[in-house]
């Protein structure tokens, strides 16, 4: 089986594939100090809980935006699964996708993986909205290439900055408030975060479509995609597993080369 790993700035997702079938996925906090042995111990327990064979893994592919984790993930693959880990980057993906930006080497691995997943499973001529540590909007060209986009602070980052800078404001959960007008501090903050981000993304989608064509399909992914995606106008698809699907497609194409 194939172990697919998506390392984000906040969370890391591990997913087990058998062919095209997603068998199971797990999420943990991204920690560059976690060793290969620690990953293995955690994964071994996760496999056991689901009744899966830890030694069934015979290949690994990783997309990482946190370079300091790569060494330990490489050790995980080599020591416990006896595999050479495939790390996704511009160099080994540029033959699979056109990167139509000023400096292609600056493209984030996660953005390229999402673009490949979107082209395979949803549409070219698209906008991908990814609610992660950063909120990104990526334009996928008619040929399925990565055409650049927008990077904004993520919801959790903005909320953290707000509560740290304003001593009297409490920590809150991100959720849809009862109404737009908050009648207490918590609801007022929830409205600012929830509807503020929904409105920002709606506005950015409108501007991107005006600039690139109103036919662009809008695909939402990321941790808060399900919460916010249903409240944003012009959303066509919510796909929590878009990055994993992109990694699987890259793996399949590279194995055919």
Helix H or strand E segment including 109: helix 109-121
Radius of gyration of the chain, Cα coordinates, nearest whole angstrom? 19
User: pLDDT band at 82, cuts 50/70/90?
Assistant: very high
Query: What residues pair up with 237 in beta bridges, in sequence order?
Result: 219
Residue 235 lies inside a defined structural domain of this protein: yes
Per the CB < 8 A criterion, the answer to whether 146 and 173 are in contact is no
pLDDT for the residue 94: 79
Please report where in the chains the tokens 């540029």 appear, as a residue: 94
- Of 31, 65, 88, the residue at which a domain comes to its end is 88
The pLDDT tens digits for 100-149 are: 999 998 888 889 999 999 999 998 899 999 998 899 999 999 989 999 99
Residue 73's nearest CA partner among 83, 82, 85, 81 is 85
Together in a domain, 14 and 66: yes
Residue 217 lies inside a defined structural domain of this protein: yes
Together in a domain, 79 and 171: no
Strand order in the sheet with 126-131: 146-153, 134-140, 126-131, 217-222, 237-238
Domain count, the chain: 2
Together in a domain, 77 and 131: no
Q: Is 200 exposed, middle or buried (0-12, 13-18, 19+ CB in 10 A)?
A: middle
CATH number at residue 22: 3.30.420.40
Together in a domain, 136 and 231: yes
The pLDDT tens digits for 3-55 are: 999 999 889 999 999 999 999 999 999 999 999 999 999 999 999 999 999 99
Together in a domain, 133 and 242: yes
Together in a domain, 136 and 242: yes
Per the CB < 8 A criterion, the answer to whether 247 and 110 are in contact is no
Least confident of 54-58, 182-186, 196-200, 213-217: 213-217
Residue 108 lies inside a defined structural domain of this protein: no
Q: What is the pTM of this model?
A: 0.90
Least confident of 30-39, 60-69, 86-95, 167-176: 86-95
State the average pLDDT for the chain: 93
- Of 88, 105, 140, the residue at which a domain comes to its end is 88
- Of 33, 65, 88, the residue at which a domain comes to its end is 88
Q: Is 82 exposed, middle or buried (0-12, 13-18, 19+ CB in 10 A)?
A: exposed
Q: What number of CA atoms fall less than 13 Å from residue 224's CA on the CB side?
A: 24
Residue 66 lies inside a defined structural domain of this protein: yes
User: pLDDT band at 256, cuts 50/70/90?
Assistant: low
Residue 103 lies inside a defined structural domain of this protein: no
Give the residue numbers marked as catalytic: 110
Together in a domain, 81 and 171: no
Per the CB < 8 A criterion, the answer to whether 200 and 194 are in contact is no
Together in a domain, 141 and 203: yes
pLDDT for the residue 108: 87
Residue 86's nearest CA partner among 243, 254, 246, 249 is 254
The boundaries of the domain holding residue 81 are 2-88
Q: Which residues of 107-138 are buried (b: 16+ CB within 10 A; e: fewer)?
A: bbbbbbbbbbbbbbbbbbbbbbbbbbbbbbbb
């Amino acid at each position: 089986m194939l172990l697919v790993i998506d390392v984000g700035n906040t969370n890391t997702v591990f997913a087990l594939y058998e062919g095209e079938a997603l068998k199971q996925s797990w999420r943990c906090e991204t920690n560059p100090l976690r060793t290969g042995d620690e990953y293995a111990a955690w994964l071994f327990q996760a496999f056991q809980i689901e009744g899966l064979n830890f030694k069934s893994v015979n290949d690994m592919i990783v997309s990482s935006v946190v370079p300091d984790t790569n060494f330990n993930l490489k050790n995980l693959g080599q020591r416990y699964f006896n595999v050479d880990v495939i790390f996704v980057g511009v160099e080994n993906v540029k033959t699979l996708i056109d990167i139509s930006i000023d400096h292609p080497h600056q493209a984030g691995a996660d953005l390229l993986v999402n673009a490949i997943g979107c082209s395979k499973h949803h549409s070219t001529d698209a906008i991908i909205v990814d609610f992660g540590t950063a909120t990104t909007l990526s334009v996928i060209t008619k040929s399925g290439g990565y055409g650049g986009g927008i990077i904004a602070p993520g919801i959790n980052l903005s909320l953290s900055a707000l509560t740290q800078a304003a001593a009297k404001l409490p920590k809150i959960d991100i959720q849809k408030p009862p109404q737009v007008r908050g009648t207490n501090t918590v609801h007022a903050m929830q409205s600012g975060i929830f509807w503020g981000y929904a409105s920002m993304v709606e506005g950015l989608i409108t501007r991107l479509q005006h600039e690139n064509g109103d036919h662009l399909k809008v695909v939402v992914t990321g941790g808060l995609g399900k919460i916010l995606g249903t409240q944003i106008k012009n959303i066509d698809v919510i796909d929590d597993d878009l990055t994993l699907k992109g990694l699987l497609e890259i793996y399949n194409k590279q194995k055919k080369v």
